[in-house]
A and B are shown apart, each in its own frame.
Chain A
Amino acid sequence: MSFTITIDKRKILVEEGCALIDAAADNGVFIPNLCYTRGKPCLGTCRVCSVRVNGKVTAACTVPVTPGMVVEVNEPEVSEMRKLLVEALFSEGNHNCPSCEKSGRCELQAVAYEVEMTASPFPYRNPKRTRETAAEHIFLERDRCIFCQRCVEHVRDAETGQAIFAIHGRGTTARIEMDVALADKLTPEQVRAAADLCPVGCILQKGVGFDDPMGQRKFEVKSLRKRVLEGESS
């Protein structure tokens, strides 16, 4: 069944059951996000896709469209909130784009450009986080983890179905952990897929890096916005 909703005063026709974030993308409205992956269950962790739905601020990945829904995306106050959330993520971890292998392929970086972030208004915390190097093919750079849960929820050991990644601790002590034995069972393609799934440079594939020259990196060739609007999953 299809019905209409309104996004930024424009009426659009949507399909029942569709997540608001997808319905928006299908109609040319880009809503930045860092945890959602089209076609996979919603995680609702980063909150960067916050928009106003019927007057209430709501994460666009968490709500299915409903008839007559009134959505505000590019309204100043809620746009500012999305920007603040991205800025909070930058202050919380250690995100140094120039030295990061993921630069140019990093969704956090791309989203920061989208929300026109310059410097974070939140104090930079410069946390001390240790990295995990024990796996044969994966390098876990915890400085950059934004706790999106993509790897925790979407990456599984093919044979047992067990989780390979998990979040230990909580709040400020939360940290990403990896089952090294299971990680070592991943094929090179699966490792690549896990690294690509990571929206930042936390899960990295060992032995490769900086393979695309500046100017020809993923989001330079085609922007994140364009990819989302064309329905590509990350």
Chain B
Amino acid sequence: MDRFVERLVGEVLDRFGSDRTRLMDMLWEVQRTRGHISEDAIAALAKGLNMSVPDVAETVTFYHFFRTAPFAQHVIYLADTVIARMNGYDAVRAALIEATGADFGVHDSNGQFGLDDAPCIGLSDQEPAMLLDDVVFSSLTPEKVFEIVAALRSGKSAEELANPEAFEKTSVDYVDAVAEAKILKSGPVLFQEGRDYAAIVKSVVERTPEEIIAEVDASDIRGRGGAGFPAGLKWRLAREAEGAEKYIICNADEGEPGTFKDRALLTHSAKDVLLGMIAAAHSVGSRTGIIYLRAEYWYLKAFLEGQIEEFKAAGLLDKNILGSGLDFDIRIQMGAGAYVCGDETALIESCEGKRGTPRVKPPFPIQHGYLGMPTVVNNVETFALCSRIVEKGGAWFTAMGTEQSSGTRLLSVSGDCVRPGIYEIEWGMTLDEVLKMIGADNAVAVQISGPSGEMLRVDKDRYRKFCYSDLSCNGSMMVFNASRDLLEVARHFTEFFVHESCGICTPCRSGGVDMLAKIDRVIAGRAVAQDLEEFKLWGKLMMATSRCGLGTTAPNPILTTLAKFPELYEARLNTSKSWLLSSFDMEDAMSEFDRAVDNLVREDVQ
């Protein structure tokens, strides 16, 4: 074994006390030092953790960003999203190949550059965008790509390029320099300036847990992650559950394509999120919190750690918070590229160092969560809102929004509109009002809640309302005008789910592939009416029988475009009376013949 690897793994094992539940952190340490996680490193980790080699590799090979082979000095991940493809993705992709001399999945001749794909990296309002080392570059053009690559060749680091004014990594200026947060409409709840955090934390710890839970209950706030579970009830159930320890987890794995509002909250309202977590910890009786941060947001890590340190220095975190006797500390857990880890139980598995397989429910995390203990998992926005509720009161919150959907919600707006960015809206606004607000006069279709949500048809859905009983939007909103091919959009979303399926349950693993193959046939003009019926049948199967939210929502892109825009599908159907099956692809069938000739017939005869 490589001595260097052996020593490195030894140090890493020591640092994490050979605790296998911290495997994600150990893998990151190895990869960030060596550029990849070699067979030797996996073997050494396995030995140190009393795990078999395939067991360690199960975690390594699950995550998109972990590499088992050396790749390149600078690895560039270009976000391949529907929005990027509307904004010059192809030209940027070609420019990257030309400028670097590398290709996607292949590094250049001297190993300086390597290219790879990534799903949405949380910059949909400024795409095309790419990850490069620990930072991002957005609003890319071919010219910008050539400039960046030339600067890297001249010896500059990606970090210097993204942060030319050399701000401290722990400063908000640094994060803003790397990835601008376009907050176009804020208030009255979120992104407030000049909050007195010490006073609010003091008021929290001076109240009983029951009082805090009652306040959150009174606000009627429902989780902003998508499922909409009442936050107060979740906290109460976790409080009542038996457990030697209890945990608070902030889900900052903002992976739904088209969503980027949690990134903005973590940049400009990070302390709101910490405060919300402290309120939850006090309510539930927890001493440990975790922020599960997606690896795409690595440039936020140092800043968030700095925010936690500032809270600690002010006595608002760690031991004996403001003399109340309450202990609560927060650590950051980095993800490594897996959309499914946005599912709370997959996220918990990942926090425990395992592949992100969603758990069988019941039991639910409030009973049996992180390390088997009662655990509250809430979204970033939920914690930020709760920090305001414990300050201003539940009644203040319910005065906003609608009867059933209290308060406000953040929208991440992208696509065909004049003003893409982040908006805080009160629940109850209509689609029409929102489209006017963002300057989307020519919108024909709107994908709400990302690929897992639904495609709206503007002329029919214009007066539908943003609220839990109608458009219970998870924050993502992508707008399309008449020039966009919605079948290509649905196809792209479906492919995303195929890539992100953990593969543990039959309907999601298998059904997604079949749905994708079928929409390819529709687009190629080789589908018939029966195929559209099979979309519905197979989609229903996936929705009804899949194990987690990924599988149950994966057919939505096709099913909702088919429901709203059936004419787009029908126009592509093959209605010819040919005696050949419409699914039969003559060209593909004949290609076998060409291959056979290539392989079997001697060159001189050919």
Contacts and interface: CB of A to CB of B under 8 A. Distances in A.
Co-complex (A, B): yes
Nearest to B521: A123
Contacts of A110: none
Contact of A92 (B61, B62, B510, B534): B510
A122 B507 contact: no
Nearest to B513: A172
Contacts of A163: 51-52, 54-55
Contacts of A88: 506-507, 510-511, 514
B251 interface: no
A157 interface: yes
Contacts of B54: 163-166, 168, 177-179
A210 B129 CA distance: 58
B344 interface: no
B505 A166 contact: no
A47 interface: yes
Contact of A121 (B500, B501, B512, B534): B534
Assign chain A's interface to a size class: 35 or more
A212 B564 CA distance: 56
Assign chain B's interface to a size class: 35 or more
A69 interface: no
Given A164-B52, A170-B355, A179-B52, A46 B506 contact: yes
Nearest to A86: B506
Contacts of B509: 92, 147, 171-172, 174
A91 interface: yes
Nearest to A177: B54
Interface stretch (B74-82, B162-170, B541-549): B541-549
A197 interface: no
Contact of B360 (A43, A50, A57, A91): A43
Contact of A46 (B62, B505, B511, B534): B505
B57 interface: yes
Interface string B3-31: 00000000000000000000000000000
Contacts of A161: 50
Contacts of B546: 47
A45 interface: yes
A167 interface: yes
Q: Which of B498, B510, B517 has the most CB of A within 10 A?
A: B510
A157 B52 contact: yes
Contact of B513 (A64, A125, A166): A125
A29 interface: no
Contacts of A45: 504-506, 547
Interface in B509-540: 509-514, 517, 534, 537-538
Contacts of A125: 513
B503 A81 contact: no
A162 B501 contact: no
A174 B61 CA distance: 9
A59 interface: yes
Interface in B342-357: 355
B58 interface: yes
Contacts of B505: 44-47
Contacts of B506: 45-48, 85, 88-89, 146-147
Contacts, number: 126
A173 B355 CA distance: 14
Contacts of B499: 171
A166 B57 contact: yes
A63 B512 CA distance: 25
Given A163-B55, A179-B53, A172 B517 contact: no
Given A45-B547, A92-B510, A167 B503 contact: yes
Contacts of B498: 171-172
State the main secondary structure of chain B at its contact with A. Answer: helix
A84 interface: yes
Nearest to B511: A88
A84 B538 contact: yes
Interface string B350-382: 000001000011100000000000000000000
B106 to A, nearest CB: 18
Given A47-B506, A88-B506, A147-B509, A57 B545 contact: yes
B425 interface: no
A171 B541 contact: no
Contacts of A117: none
A200 to B, nearest CB: 13
A163 B509 CA distance: 23
B142 to A, nearest CB: 32
A85 B355 CA distance: 24
B51 A162 contact: yes
A44 B499 CA distance: 21
B502 interface: yes
Contacts of A174: 503, 509
A62 B538 CA distance: 22
A167 B357 CA distance: 11
Given A43-B360, A45-B504, A171-B500, A81 B541 contact: yes
Given A171-B499, A172-B503, A166 B547 contact: no
B503 A147 contact: yes
A85 B507 contact: yes
A209 interface: no
A67 to B, nearest CB: 16
A161 B53 CA distance: 13
A169 B510 contact: no
Contacts of A109: none
A4 to B, nearest CB: 21
Given A42-B360, A91-B510, A179-B53, A47 B61 contact: no
A194 B55 CA distance: 17
A25 interface: no
Contacts of A43: 360
Contacts of B503: 147, 167, 169-174
A103 interface: no
A149 B54 CA distance: 14
Nearest to A162: B52
A142 B371 CA distance: 32
A167 B58 contact: yes
Nearest to A52: B544
Interface string A21-46: 00000000000000000000011111
Contacts of B52: 157, 162-164, 166, 179, 182
B510 A89 contact: yes
Nearest to B583: A123
A169 B62 CA distance: 5
Nearest to A84: B541
Interface string B430-469: 0000000000000000000000000000000000000000
A160 interface: yes
Given A43-B360, A44-B505, A157-B52, A168 B61 contact: yes
B59 to A, nearest CB: 9
A122 B514 contact: yes
B514 to A, nearest CB: 5
Given A47-B545, A162-B51, A167-B355, 5 more contacts: A47-B547, A170-B61, A171-B512, A172-B498, A179-B55
15 contacts: A57-B545, A59-B547, A62-B360, A62-B362, A63-B362, A81-B541, A84-B537, A88-B510, A122-B514, A123-B514, A147-B503, A147-B504, A147-B506, A160-B50, A170-B61
